[in-house]
Amino acid sequence: MIADSLAGRRIAVTGSTGFLGTALVERLLRSVPDCELVLVVRPGRRGARRRVDRDILRNDAFDRLRDELGTDGFAEMTAQRVTAVAGDVAVDGLGLDDAGRAAIAGCDIFIHSAAIVSFDSPLDQAVEVNLLGPVRVASVLTELGVAPHLVAVSTCYVAGSRRGAAPEEPVDESPFFVGVDWSNEVDSARQIRRDTETASRSPERLTDFRDEAHDELGAAGVPALASKTEQLRSRWVDDRMAEAGRARATSLGFPDAYAYTKALGEMALVETAGEIPVSIVRPSIIESALAEPSPGWIRGFRMAEPVIISYARGLLKEFPGVPEGTIDIIPVDFVVAAICAVAARGPVDGPDIVQVASGSVNPLRYGHLVDMVRAWFTDHPIYDDRGQPISVPEWSFPGRGRVKRQLERTGTVLEKAQKVIDALPVRGSRAELAVRLEEQRGLIERAMGYVDLYGAYAECEAVYLLDRLLALWESLDPDDREAFCFDPRVLDWDHYAPEIHLPSVVRAGRVPMRPPARGAESRSTRLRRQVLSPDRQMAVFDLENTLIASNVVATYAWLGSRRLSGRDRLRLVLKTVMEGPTLLALDRRDRSDFLRHFYRRYEGAPVDVISEDAAEHFSDLILARSFPAGIRRVREHRDLGHRTLLITGALDFVVEPLRPLFDDIVSSVLGTDGSTYDGRMRTAPPTGEARYQALVDYADLHGLDLRESVAYADSASDLPMLEAVGFPVAVNPETRLASIANKRGWLVEDFAKSPGMTSRLLPLAPAGRSA
């Protein structure tokens, strides 16, 4: 019996934090008495044991065991039977310390299931884990002088993009395999990484990344732009490496880098294992559980889920595939049971390869699956953000090229529309259109990615033979067959898909399956309640376009025209209007440089005159152009006992009348030369990173926790300040900030202007006043 054969054995497992690995650990703990597990996991910052406890044992896969044993009993059992070892299959020697090596040396069985399963992973990363990972495991066991039964999990798709029968045979014995040296492939992948990293650091590339960062963030300050630039560079490298993986895999007849590196990993393991007995288990597409640990259990999104959800959302109007073809999926509990059976049976002479699939004995036709998915989502539709059910389309099963061309045309139209919107000075509710366009572009790009990644699998016509799997099944007694079922012939697709798998998909995807309840709290209301909680400690505000519909140019125009008349006023207006595009470009490029440049216009202005005019400016312009909801929000925070702070690039004499609203004000200050301003700023203007630093210094001075603070601003240039607090609020955001706030789930407020507010582009002081 399987359970008896594995009872009391010490079993090492890699990949236990993954979908298959978690299910395997749960089944061994629940169904195999007294076996001990050594889980090799990347420790991260928390350490191996804490990672096992938090990332594995807390998973809902173990709910059944927790219910049976109780919380304390489960904790006691896992403490006795589970040993956590810090290790990494991407590192030579697995990165093991002496304790880890000793723990592995005492194992009877080693199940290697760690892998990078993403179909678009960077080539070198897939090579290090999928190809070299099994080699490193065998090397460590050899160094330790032990030879446990090594069960390596691979994939049926090592057979490549073939049509017809794919038997349980070694990769290099297949007539379809193009002979390559796996060690040369390793060297090549590493060299491509070095070359790509070098290319990413060329002056031309770095300039492109910097420009792209500025397009996305605007004048957010040097640190934010530098961080974004490096992020874009790193992403560019990974994208090029993913392209290299797809290209190399396709050139050798594989659907993607995952299948390609898994195939070479099998070859490399067999070549380097020496005296270590090796069994290879090849599952097809692993999906949610039929029964164990519970019907529909799944961890994360697998291959089919993103496509299914995108279809149900109406995003994928068509998808490539052969309707008569087979989608070869297998429930995760069947794969786990087969691994347990192989481990319990022990090694056999000759190549020991067992495929766990369904297509050759119980095929699920692609067209039939699509029909079931369409019928299910017709009866159980996903709801859009307006609370309306989404109608699912009817697929016509075109080729990949046609689908990609349709998506590319739609993407091009959306890109052009977004560029037009981005060039306009829109903000607040009007910027919402740009956000919507960006969301749609993101969905189109995601759909194109699905076509690239999964289209080959939907069109695959390979038939994976199961001679060894079925022979193993026939060798089991009735008790084993009941406890460890892996016979794909018992699967009822008409039950599994609509009754088990699709409900689990929508649960895992957390998609809305019903319209919002009447009177239910909206997301904005919930976020606003958090912002206005008594638990908050401080609320910091920007000024321009956050609390008032004005800016430093409008302020200067008002103050500059206050004591002018006739032609002088006209001359000021014409000069300022003509400089508008230049000033706007400078402001978008660097807010601090813009303020320094613009404030030089105050050179020679009498301090006492400006002070007098600024007081009148407050009543004539600021109060008339304020956002009443914004002013009320400041008062709400004060009433709640929150400290209120205004940080603005506006000049101190402009904002001084606002001091009663705030506990403190941080603003720009001009130097003086006796009785006149010299046009030079005393300190760096509080914008971008300087604004962030001013906020941090203020919080430190007053003992305030920024994680319990709120920040209000309108521009991406305020990003450092917004990111510094626990509760950022985008107010009347321009398009860049609107996009960022939408992606990060921030509260967005649309503070309306006062009724009757003047809409003049350049407000001037009332005519007829002179010094």
Segment 320-356, tens digit of pLDDT: 667 777 889 999 999 999 999 999 999 998 789 999 9
Q: CA 275 to CA 253: how far, in whole Å? A: 32
Express each pLDDT in 623-678 by its tens digit: 677 888 999 999 999 999 999 999 998 898 888 888 889 999 999 999 888 888 88
Beta bridge partners of 13: 39, 111
Q: Give the closest residue to 272 by CA, choosing from 126, 134, 75, 394.
A: 134
What integer pLDDT is reported at residue 573 of this predicted model? 73
Is the confidence at residue 682, as pLDDT, over 50?
yes
Q: Are strands 82-86 and 670-673 parallel, antiparallel or unpaired?
A: unpaired
Q: Note the pLDDT of residue 450.
A: 65
d(CA 238, CA 233): 9
CA distances from 75 to 9, 46, 79, 81, 254 (A): 20, 19, 6, 10, 44
d(CA 658, CA 656): 5
pLDDT (average), residues 179-202: 95
**pLDDT on residue 239:** 92
Q: Give yes or no for residue 587 having a pLDDT over 50.
A: yes
pLDDT tens-digit map of 652-662: 888 888 888 99
pLDDT value at position 320?
66
Peptide bond into 293 cis (omega under 30): yes
Query: Does the structure show a pLDDT above 70 at 360?
Result: yes
The yes-or-no answer to whether 1-175+253-284+328-359+465-475 and 527-749 have a common fold is yes
| SS3 state at 747 | strand
pLDDT digits (tens, 9 = 90+) for 406-431: 677 777 776 776 666 666 665 666 66
**Domain assignments of the chain as residue spans, ordered by start:** 1-175+253-284+328-359+465-475, 181-251, 302-324+361-463+487-517, 527-749
For 192, phi then psi, to 5°, come to -60, -40
Would you state the pLDDT for residue 770? Answer: 46
Residue 417's H or E segment, with its range, is helix 400-423
Strand partners, 129: none
Query: For residue range 285-306, what is the model confidence (pLDDT) as tens digits?
Result: 999 999 999 999 988 765 667 7
Answer for the pair 667, 655: CB distance below 8 angstroms, yes or no: yes
Cβ-proximal residues to 189 (8 Å cutoff; 6+ apart), any chain: 123, 124, 127, 244
Confidence category of residue 583, pLDDT binned at 50, 70, 90: confident
Q: How far is CA 524 from the centre of its chain?
A: 22
- What is residue 538's predicted lDDT score, i.e. its pLDDT? 96
Give the range among 33-37, 148-152, 442-446 with minimum mean pLDDT. 442-446
Ranges of beta strands (E only) in 381-460 are none
- Stronger pLDDT, 538 or 117, i.e. the higher one: 538
The Cα 586–Cα 582 span in angstroms is 6
HSE on the CB side for 406, CA within 13 Å? Answer: 14
pLDDT of 768 above 60: no
Sort strands 670-673 and 664-668 into parallel, antiparallel or unpaired. unpaired
Q: Looking at 400-414, 478-492, 588-602, which range is the least confident one?
A: 400-414
Looking at residue 303, its pLDDT comes to 60
pLDDT of residue 537 exceeding 60, the answer is: yes
pLDDT at 338: 97
CATH code for the domain defined by 527-749: 3.40.50.1000
Q: Has residue 740 got a pLDDT over 50?
A: yes
> Which long-range contacts does 661-668 make (Cβ < 8 Å, 24+ apart)?
661/631, 661/634, 661/635, 662/541, 662/634, 663/638, 664/698, 666/694, 666/698, 668/595, 668/599
Please work out, in degrees rounded to the nearest 5, the angle formed at the alpha carbon of residue 388 by the alpha carbons of 385 and 394.
Answer: 105
Range of 132-141, 423-432, 508-517 with top mean pLDDT:
132-141
Higher pLDDT, 174 or 757: 174
Mean pLDDT value across residues 594-616: 85
Q: Which fold has domain 1-175+253-284+328-359+465-475?
A: Rossmann fold (3.40.50)
- Tell me, what's the pLDDT at 531? 94
265 versus 217: the higher-pLDDT residue is: 265
- 182-200 and 257-272 are packed helices; what angle lies between their axes, rounded to 10 degrees? 130
Of 13-17, 238-242, 611-615, give the lowest mean pLDDT range: 611-615
Determine how many CB atoms are found less than 10 A away from the CB of residue 231. 12
Decide: 85 and 140 in contact? Cβ < 8 Å. Answer: no
Under a CB-based contact definition with an 8 Å cutoff, are residues 313 and 444 in contact? no
Inter-axis angle of helices 567-589 and 552-561, to 10 degrees? Answer: 160
Q: Kindly give the pairing relationship between strand 676-681 and strand 670-673.
A: antiparallel
User: Residues 737, 740, 741, CA angle at the centre, nearest 5°?
Assistant: 85
Span 168-192, average pLDDT: 89
pLDDT at 464 exceeding the cut of 70? yes
Band (771; pLDDT cuts 50, 70, 90): very low
Who contacts 141 (Cβ-Cβ below 8 Å, separation ≥6)?
A: 104, 110, 147, 148, 150, 276
The answer to whether residues 576 and 561 touch, using CB atoms and an 8 Å cutoff, is no
- Report the run of H or E that residue 355 belongs to, with start and end: strand 353-356
Mean pLDDT score across all residues of the chain: 86
Average pLDDT over residues 741-761: 77
Q: Calculate the CA 594 to chain-centre distance.
A: 35
pLDDT band of residue 433 (cuts 50, 70, 90) is: low
- Are 91 and 225 in contact by the 8 Å Cβ rule? The answer is no
Q: Give exposure, 318-349, as e/b (b: 16+ Cβ within 10 Å).
A: bbbbbeebbbbbbbbbbbbbbbbbbbbbebee
